[in-house]
Structure 1
Amino acid sequence: MQHIIGLVPPEDFKEKVIHFQKRWTGNTITEVVEPHITLKAQGGLTRDRKWLDHVRETCRRTKPFRIQLGAPAFFGEEVLYLSVRSDKLYGLHKQMVRVAAPTQEQIDAYFELNHFVPHMTLAKTSHGLSKQDLIDMAPAADKEFRPFPAFEVNRVRVYEERSPNTYTKLEDLSLGSISRMR
């Protein structure tokens, strides 16, 4: 059982992204996880969840901040995503990596710290689409989501892999407060 930590966009935009993703037959990413911006990948987020109290404390000490979504871009030819801009996001990512304490190999494998590129994945070739599908999808995404929204991040979502390659909400953690939403 693995975990990831992400930022969930406002519900209306999340639904818009899902609707867009489902326009491409065979795009199974919607069965894997909801649209989100990965804050911390799996490395160091162990099954025993000893890291979770540290993540809660980090969230409590972090004030809400804004992020700006941007134009579609690619990781190689296999992943299409919406770009994300936010100075505060990098600092929170670094804090999450610190509290999870992944190995250097995990940091490298999950492109964290100096290799961290904030993004919201739209499609992957590993989830049912071809490279050509992603090429065709990019201009459609640019048209669909422009003007790209900005939104306030006031919570972090911890996801748990409940079945192989399927991540669902474990817990929401409010930023800047001690409250927790389940």
Structure 2
Amino acid sequence: MSPSHLLALRPPPDIEAQVVAFREAHGVRDAAAVPHVTVKARSGLDDHLCWLALVPAVAAATPPVPVELIAPRVFPNGSALHLPARSPGAVQLHLDLLDALRPTRRFGYEGPHMTPHLTLALGRRDVNLDALLDAARLAFPQPLTFTATDLVWMRKPGPGGAYQPVEGWTLGSTPDP
């Protein structure tokens, strides 16, 4: 199986440490090991990497993105426990990336109705998301806010791997020639 790619906003070190501590305390080990808010999932992000040439211009045209991570939830389909991200800027960045990349096929959750979020745990057979939800409500009782200043390319090497940052672009800056 080939690698997977996504584009994301990363939280600052203090919020990242909270999320990592929560995951470690509950034995969560999955592809979301490095905390991030996905703004563009895999569609159109293939292994040929031609899309990489388009990303710096989108990042340069995007001002830093305010993000508010609100009360933990589980997606209705049980795919993940997450902190929803209230962020019109993240949704706009998602739409701008869709416009620039023009993927031939899109996921049903892409578009203006996209739900930006930070995954705390993926839904898997061996994971009790309801119990984790209760623990997450205690661990994250108040909204967490930050302003994302970089768009980050993250890559997962294949099944069973975790997404890791590869490269980043400063939001609102002129791309290198």
Identify the residue that residue 13 of structure 1 maps to in structure 2.
Answer: 15
Identify the residue that residue 174 of structure 2 maps to in structure 1.
Answer: 178
1:135 aligns with 2:133: no
Indicate if the aligned counterparts of 1:28 and 1:127 stay in contact, CA closer than 8 A. Answer: no
Instruction: Pick the aligned partner of 1:148 from 120, 143, 149.
Output: 143
Deviation at 1:163, TM superposition (A): 4.2
Aligned-residue sequence identity (percent) comes to: 28
TM-score (normalizing by structure 2): 0.88
- Deviation sequence 1:87-141 (CA, Å, 0-9, x none): 111111001112222224x332xx1104411111111222841xxx211121221
Identify the residue that residue 4 of structure 1 maps to in structure 2.
Answer: 6
Secondary structure at 1:116 match in 2: coil
Gaps of 5+ in 1: none
Deviation at 1:32, TM superposition (A): 4.9
Which is further off, 159-168 or 8-17? 159-168
Q: Give, in whole Å, the separation in 2 of the partners of 1:160 and 1:78.
A: 20
Relative distance call for 1:44 and 1:150 in structure 2 (3 A) is same
Which one-letter code corresponds to 2:167 in the other structure?
Answer: E
Identify the residue that residue 117 of structure 1 maps to in structure 2.
Answer: 115
- Deviation sequence 1:51-99 (CA, Å, 0-9, x none): 1121111101111121111011111233110111011111110011122
Identify the residue that residue 64 of structure 1 maps to in structure 2.
Answer: 64
Q: Give, in whole Å, the separation in 2 of the partners of 1:161 and 1:139.
A: 29
Gaps of 5+ in 2: none
Q: Give, in whole Å, the separation in 2 of the partners of 1:127 and 1:68.
A: 30
Q: Give, in whole Å, the separation in 1 of the partners of 2:124 and 2:113.
A: 21
Which one-letter code corresponds to 2:17 in the other structure?
Answer: E
Larger helix proportion, structure 1 or 2?
1
Which one-letter code corresponds to 2:29 in the other structure?
Answer: T
Secondary structure at 2:164 match in 1: strand
TM-score (normalizing by structure 1): 0.86
